[in-house]
Structure 1
Amino acid sequence: MTQPPKNPLHGITLEKLLNELVAHYGWEGLAKRIDIRCFKSDPSIKSSLTFLRKTPWAREKVEALFVQMRQKQE
């Protein structure tokens, strides 16, 4: 029996994901990669989490960038 594909986001909270991205790219680097205001104008984890939880398209972009970053680290 084959295993289903492993979900790279399993067990990772949005806050942990965002903290890792900020540590890796910085706010300016995130803003260059994903053009959303919460990364450009007075960025904070709290305000970004609020926005990302309410905005599915932005969350998908952030999650995709996180998966891409993790794959490059392997």
Structure 2
Amino acid sequence: MSTQPNNPLHGIKLEQIITELQGHYGWEYMGYQINIRCFTHDPSVKSSLKFLRRTPWARTKVEAMYLEMLRNKR
């Protein structure tokens, strides 16, 4: 039984979120939607993870983008 049944992000790693977003939208669109350097200048999963782990406001935006992608896939 999950301790967070209403949290769609529960159990999903940040790396998985970035990888899925990048595969679905691509770096260019992600950088357009969320203007952060790790998406717009020489983007990589590694640089994005490093930045997002230290920057709560950016991580919140990326998580929101991921949830929106999941809603649109349904």
TM-score (norm 2): 0.92
Alpha-carbon offset, residue 6 of structure 1? 1.1
Q: Deviations over 1:14-60 (max 9, x none)?
A: 00000000000000010011010110000000000000000000000
Match of 1:51 in 2: 51
| Structure 1 ranges of 4+ moved more than 4 A | none
Write out aligned runs for 1:1-74 (5 A): 6-74=6-74
The one-letter code of the counterpart of 1:66 is Y
The one-letter code of the counterpart of 1:57 is W
The one-letter code of the counterpart of 2:73 is Q
Which protein has the larger Cα radius of gyration, Structure 1 or Structure 2? 1
Q: Structure 2 stretches of 5 or more lacking a match?
A: none
State the alpha-carbon separation in 1 of the partners of residues 22 and 32 from structure 2: 12
- May I ask how many residue pairs the two structures share in their alignment? 71
Q: Structure 1 stretches of 5 or more lacking a match?
A: none
Report the RMSD for the aligned CA atoms in angstroms. Answer: 1.2
Alpha-carbon offset, residue 5 of structure 1? 6.0
